[in-house]
């Protein structure tokens, strides 16, 4: 019975990770994030909009960035990441659920045939 609990816990971890990945994928819609310095022709601070450029890995010490990305490039990267999270979440969820089902079915106590 102790082995059953360990196996259930081991399959519960990928199940939970899969659900979390699916939730992260669902939450990744909207405006792409600029993790660096946002360059724009607008004066006031704002979210990234079409036509803006993001300087990636910007450093004040180097006074520069590793590269730039446009709004469209970051939006495309966001779509790729979302697809990856959905695939990963689906696979982990199915793996965890199937494992829990197999362990439960294999250790189910049946009444002896009379």
Q: Are 36 and 56 a contacting pair, CB within 8 Å?
A: yes
For residue 99, give its domain range: 2-106
Residue 76 lies in a domain: yes
Contacts of 83 (CB under 8 A, 6+ apart): 25
What pTM was estimated for this model as a whole? 0.76
Residue 34 lies in a domain: yes
What is the model's pLDDT at position 66? 73
Instruction: Give me the number of domains the chain comprises.
Output: 1
Q: Is the pLDDT of residue 69 over 70?
A: yes
Q: Is the pLDDT of residue 62 over 70?
A: no
Residue 113 lies in a domain: no
Residue 65 lies in a domain: yes
Q: What 3-state DSSP class applies to 53? A: strand
Q: How far is CA 70 from CA 42, 50, 59, 81, in A?
A: 15, 8, 18, 17
Q: Is the pLDDT of residue 34 over 80?
A: no
Residue 112 lies in a domain: no
Mean pLDDT of the chain: 85
Residue 12 lies in a domain: yes
Place of tokens 């979390």: 20
């Amino acid at each position: 019975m102790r082995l059953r609990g360990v196996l259930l816990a081991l399959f519960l971890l990928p199940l939970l990770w899969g659900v979390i990945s699916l939730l992260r994928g669902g939450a990744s819609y909207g405006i792409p994030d600029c993790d660096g310095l946002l360059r724009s022709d607008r004066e006031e601070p704002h979210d990234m909009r079409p036509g803006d450029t993001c300087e990636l890995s910007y450093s004040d010490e180097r006074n520069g960035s590793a590269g730039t990305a446009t709004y469209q490039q970051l939006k495309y990267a966001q779509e790729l990441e979302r697809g990856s999270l959905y695939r990963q979440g689906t696979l982990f969820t199915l793996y965890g659920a199937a494992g829990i089902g197999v362990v439960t079915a294999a250790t189910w106590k049946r009444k002896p045939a009379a």
